[in-house]
Each structure stands twice: as C-alpha cells, then as structure tokens.
Amino acid sequence: MEINYIKGSSSDFFKFVDSINDEDKVAILSHNDLDGLSAGVFLEKILEAKNIPVEYIDFLDIKADMMKEVFGKLKDLEITKIFISDIGVDSIDFEGFSDLRKDFDVFLIDHHPMNQEIADWDNIIKTDSQDCAGMTCYFLGEGLIDAEEWNWLCCAAIFSDFSYKEKKNLEYLQESYPGITYDNISSSTPGINGRKINSALIYYAQDKKYVFKLVKERKLNEIDEAHEIVEEEIERLIDEFPSRGEHHDDKHIHLYEINSKFNVISTVCSLVSKMKVEDTFVFYSKKADGTVKFSARNQGGTKDVGELMRKCTAGLEGANGGGHKPAAAANVKLQDFDEFKKRLLE
C-alpha cells in the first residue's frame, strides 16, 4: 500500500525508533477515537518487535492546551521519548506542542492539515487527509506487525475515518473483503467492527484504556452490550433530527443540538450528513464546563468544513477549530456561541 506522505517518511520514523536506547522511557499519546486507538496499537506492536517497552500510553481529546494536561504526568514518569499520533496538535495546540518538543524527544504521525510553521521541523510525518493515522502506522510496521492478526483493525480504522473514500484505500479493503462498496461498507465486516469499537469508546468514555485492552485481546464480543445501548441512542437522535434540527435550506446548512448522556455528536453528524451530501451539517453539544463542542460534516465536498471551523473560531478566546475538508470539529466558550453561529450563517 502506498501512503501519500506530505512530510516525513518511513526512514525518518525508524531513525527515531532506532535512536531509543535502554535508558529511555517511551510514551504514546494518541487520539481517543478508533483511528487514534488503532494507531496506538500498531505503534506499540512496532516497538514490541524492536524490544522497546512502552512505559505510558494515553488517549486524548483534541482541544486547546491538551499537551499541558499531560505534561506533568510525562515528567513524573521521567519519559524521554514520545510518539504522538492522530492529533492535529501542530494546529490545535501549537504552543503546547512546541513546549513538549523542548523537554522531550517527540515524533508526530498525523493526517490533519499541517500548520506551515512546522514545515521545517524534524520528526514529523504528515500524510494526505485520507490516509488515516491507523493505516499509516500499520504500514510503517509492515514486516514487524503480524498482518494476518491485525489487518482487520487497520480496515476498521479505514472505515471509521472515512479513508475508504480514497480509491486506493477502498481497493485495499476490497482485497481483504471482496464485495465492499461505498454503499454497503457500514454493514460490512470492517464497518461492523468499526461501529462496535466506536460505541465502546463512547460508552466507556472515562476508561478508554479498557477498550484499548479489549481490542488488543480481540475480545469484541465483550462490547456487544455497550454497542447496542449506544446504537439505540444514536438512532433516537437521528430520528429526531428532522423535527428538532435548525434547517437553513437557502444556505444548505443544518444545525442540531445533541442532548445525550453519551458523546455521540460526531457519529450522529456523520450518519445524518449522508442524507444530503451536498449540504453542510453542524451539530453541537453544550458542556457542563461552559463550552460548546461542534462537529461538522460535508460529505459531497461542496464546502471545506475544516476551513469553515477555523474561520468560525478565529480570534475567539480559548476556542479552536479545524480538521479535514469533509469532517471537522470546533470548541468555543458558551458566551461565544452566538458569534460562532453568526459567522457560520454568514
């Protein structure tokens, strides 16, 4: 499989891996979704094959100051080498990323749009948006990762992160699962596996490492009940969208407030946005900490929602936004919700 590298290469990655010695302590920081979890699994497998133990692994929510939250833990554990995967930290938390690189040896593997301020920095792999982090880490480990044992997880990550929309990635899925198409992928084996793991990550939101453990042990049957509960909640919210959503048909924009005890905003937005692929869908949840989380989708490519989220949050205190052209996210303070919405509709 050919990975579309925008910055960095496999040789850069293994140069960093080979620099790790017996006195180093290694950590992996990855995104708290399926793509990030799979990237964490594959990075750990690569390091295991190199006889390098992982001292610490964590799965983070993408938000401003995310590096600050974990910095102290890394210091306490005397970590020296850090792998970061599937976190657009160079754009969302540039200051935190810069500070982290001053105190630790860091290698970033990511497929979110690159902040041009890091264009000349070393120890960074940036791939095309469609080549998700899990898939990238899987193929970085070619020859080290048991393909027969772990191909299924790579395929689930490709499904979950919409990487199958790239023709070569869909063809890769079809090699392992003949008959998969754009239309039936949700009900295919990678689709079912992806949906199950996503449900578990939502249900066990406070214990992502438990899901990580089950995935590594391939015990997906133990998350069936959680999957059923989360899927039922998702179906309820989808059914309520036509009546409860705010529809601006003249602008081809739909807003919808998600009220749920589960963090299903991204999943619901992804599923509903398939109803009108040419329209833009921006769903949001108001949080107890006084912030608002947004998830945006445009499945047809008529609007770059990553750029849209950046424009809607630009200059707002403590806000951040961005992502890929078809899928993005943002966070703002509740007091700035009206300003965000005004910018969105303009």
Say whether pLDDT at 175 is over 90: yes
Strand order in the sheet with 327-333: 246-248, 253-257, 280-286, 291-297, 327-333, 320-323
Residue 241: the pLDDT is: 97
pLDDT (0 to 100) of residue 1: 81
DSSP annotation of 181 reads: -
Tokens matching residue 331 = 């966070």
Q: Per CATH, is 5-218 categorized as 3.90.1640.30?
A: yes
What average pLDDT does range 316-334 have in this prediction?
91
Name the band, by pLDDT with cuts 50, 70 and 90, for residue 61: confident
For the chain, the structural domain boundaries read 5-218, 244-345
Other Cβ atoms less than 10 A from the Cβ of 230: the count is 24
* Pairing between β-strand 26-31 and β-strand 56-60 as defined by DSSP bridges: parallel
Write the Ramachandran bin of 78: left for phi over 0, alpha for psi from -120 to 50, otherwise beta. Answer: left
Encoding tokens for residue 159? 């499904």
CA 21 from chain centre, in angstroms, equals 30
Q: CA nearest 137: which of 114, 120, 157, 165?
A: 157
- Reference 73, options 64, 82, 61; nearest CA is 82
**The domain at 244-345 falls in which architecture?**
Roll (3.10)
Q: Is the pLDDT of residue 2 over 90?
A: no
Confidence class of residue 79 from pLDDT cuts 50, 70 and 90?
very high
pLDDT digits (tens, 9 = 90+) for 282-311: 999 999 899 999 999 999 889 999 999 999
